[in-house]
Chain A
Amino acid sequence: MTWVSASDRKRSALAVGMLATVSTILFSLPVFDRFDGLDTDLLHYLSVTDTSGVTGGDASPVAVIAVTEATHRAPAFNHLPKVMWTPEIALVQEAVLEAGATVFAWDIVLPTSAAAYVADRERDKPLLKSLFQRGRKEGRIILGETRLGEEPISPHASFAHVAGGASNLRHLNVYVEPDGVVRGVPLLFQGAEDVAPRRLTGMAFEVALRHVGAELEMDTDGNVVFGDSRVPTVDGRNALVRFDTTPGAIPTYSFHDIYRCAKEGRTDYLHDAFNGRAVLFGAVLDVEDRNLTSERFARHADMAARPTPCSDAAQMTPTVVRNATPGVYVHANAVINLLSGSMIERAGRGVRVLMMFLAIAVSAFATMRWRPHRAAMVVGLEIVVIGIVAVVLFRGSYQTPLVMPIVAALTVYGVVVAYRVLIGDRARRQLHETFKRYLDPKVIDTMLESGDVPRLGGESLELTCFFSDIAKFSGISERMPPNELVRFLNTYFQIAGAAIEQEGGIIERFEGDAILAVFGAPIRHEDHATRAVRAAFRMEQSLSQADSRGAFEIPGNLPVLTRIGVNSGEMTVGNVGSERRHSYTVMGDAVNLSARLEGANKQFGTTILVGETTRVAAGDIFEWMEVDRVRVVGRAEPVRVYTPLGVPGEVDERMLRWRETYGAALEAYRDRRFDEARQAFESLAQKGFEPAAFARERCDQMIAASPPADWDGVTNLISK
């Protein structure tokens, strides 16, 4: 987790794993299987392909003859109760079967006869003859019946009887999922008594069997086999229909058009339309027989892209787009599914759990790893991938979970983000609040993402402290009115601060004309000592350049010189202050020493003084000159102090020679050869090498009053 320390990464990985596992178990509970239906519907919608230019399903093995609203308006049927249409139905049925249709299946139930309605004993006879010959004798007619309550709604006994009875009578009930949406058909019904399984086939399955002339087959596990393949089912009996949502995929003819066609003897048209096809006789009406099905989102107008009608008089305008599908298409699509082996198979429990786990794990990882807006993009991308995978597989009639993995991924995202906002990111916000005065927010984020963050409660670290002050600031301030002094200081701090920040240091505080900066915290830089020395050089250079171009506007053209003390060592850092006001503070003996070294510059005539620990830590990146060994106020232990001369190769030879001379003189001084030392220091001082002037004075003091026998050669600095 980025809002906690790097040491928590393993714990974070464990948290991701646990969250993913627990969430997977939760979201894979069977109670969520009810969303499978919604998945089916959405996948139908998402699988809709470009339908521009579609003109009808020439390759469809199934055709539909539908009673339409136009049928009711046609002269032959207008005002005539449908129970009296039996001669016309017989004519169409005969013509279609004569044209080569494999089977004529009724998705319309005629529970009464015309003879029971009007005193016309002859009216039904054409239909009775057709049912007798084509149904009972040839087995090419299947009548439909249905049952919603206790009593079935069956064809009139005369029709059922002459058509062959139960062998040519099939149920038209459909498979409804708990949300009330029709998504399939029963392949086999459960018999109330012991009858041959073939008698229990649903209408669509029976049509498919007759179309190919096959017998009912079941494997040893009781699964229905069609062709050479097991037909996937939900529960062993009900199969999910994959609707072909392409307009015109199932060629549909209006009943009155085919009636007229048959009456006019247009056998060529009828042959082209129905030869070799299974024909379903149903209704595509505005009100009756419409079901909310899996294609409820992938809607298109009824009769859209239908085949060219037989008669110009049968031209129809497609109806408005509806959510509900005419029932005949449920059976028609089911037949096509069976014939093409494209019944929907839903993924098993194992695949579902695996997909759920992956979706949740990705979401959990992204949300815990990155900030919410970035994680949201990852989760969004994940959702797109889930959708694409589901659609691709669905086009092969294999349904994988869609809604629940997305819901789970979003839920996990929401939970983790909430956790971060309420709990986890509290530490993150605290860091931002603490360091916003010191660091660019992006730097804080980088620090957080690296996992290497400071402990605000306090920690002891090896750091380098940087202390600077303006030389002769009192003289400068006396010459300037307050407003100009403030402007001067602001300019000075802007330039000086930039030098520090460019090297990765933070300014812990401004104090008068002084700057206290820290290197190595809160951003971990192993080369904090080098950076601090480099910052000192950079500051000097920047101030000098600014001064040259008159940026400071000091009356009397006093130069702006800064004195810098740098020291490395173990320091304590952390948030110090009251609850309302606190700051990131560095404390410790090493800090004090840096301040002392800054002040010592005044005596040694140097501008940068570096403690021994900094010299050692920075190594030979710079050319150094040992200035002295000093004992500062409040610190018993002496410390060697150095001044950096520059980067090797860039320091001029004269300075290097002076360093040699100074070093040798310092050696002589410590060896009590004060005259020798003084002579050498004097020569350097006369050349303008200021540290040598102070050394010469110390030599004079030693010559004037010989030091005691236990003198250790250390210079005691008496001022802070």
Chain B
Amino acid sequence: MARLVFLGKLADLAGQGDCVVADGPLDAVLAGLDPALALALLDERVRIALNGELVGERSIVLGANDELAFLPPVSGG
């Protein structure tokens, strides 16, 4: 199993700060989520970090214990 982490307003949309999903390609993981949430996660302004490292491309395959975080634009300190 892998973990998705939702930051900022994405957590409100997801109704939770994180969730556990089955391993597999990101496309398949997103297809299993609520469509409105999946759409928000696909927004090009949302950055993603895999196991704490920012990644630029989204052709990711989640493995066991991976943590994928979705980071909306930051609103400043």
A pairs with B: no
- B interface with A by C-beta (< 8 Å): none
- A interface with B by C-beta (< 8 Å): none
